[in-house]
């Protein structure tokens, strides 16, 4: 499992969610920094994989969960400012 070796950022989103689309734009900007820190970014559409949304307790979208060592080390719900996301994802 990738989250055992490095940081994995999972974006739980809905294809019809406005805030999800805004978050996606911000995450596109942050992808080079994530890659530089050897973090993996994964998007999970809750419509396509409802069992994962249930398994991880997703109550609203967008929700970002950050995994390290197979454990959730940080999470945030809703669209967030770029600076807050950078701190959460790269330092968190």
Please state the three-class secondary structure of the chain as a single string.
CHHHHCCEEEEEECCCCHHHHHHHHHHHHHHHHHHHCCCEEEEEECCCCHHHHHHCCCCCCCEEEEEECCEEEEEEECCCCHHHHHHHHHCC
Active site residues: 17, 20
């Amino acid at each position: 499992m990738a989250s055992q070796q490095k940081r994995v950022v999972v974006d739980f989103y809905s294809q019809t969610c406005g805030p999800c689309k805004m978050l996606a734009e911000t995450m596109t900007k942050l992808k080079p920094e994530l890659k530089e820190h050897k973090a993996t970014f994964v998007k999970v559409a809750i419509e396509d994989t409802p069992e994962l949304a249930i398994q991880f307790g997703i109550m609203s979208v967008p929700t970002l969960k950050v995994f390290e060592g197979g454990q959730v080390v940080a999470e945030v719900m809703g669209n967030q400012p770029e600076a807050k996301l950078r701190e959460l994802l790269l330092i968190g």
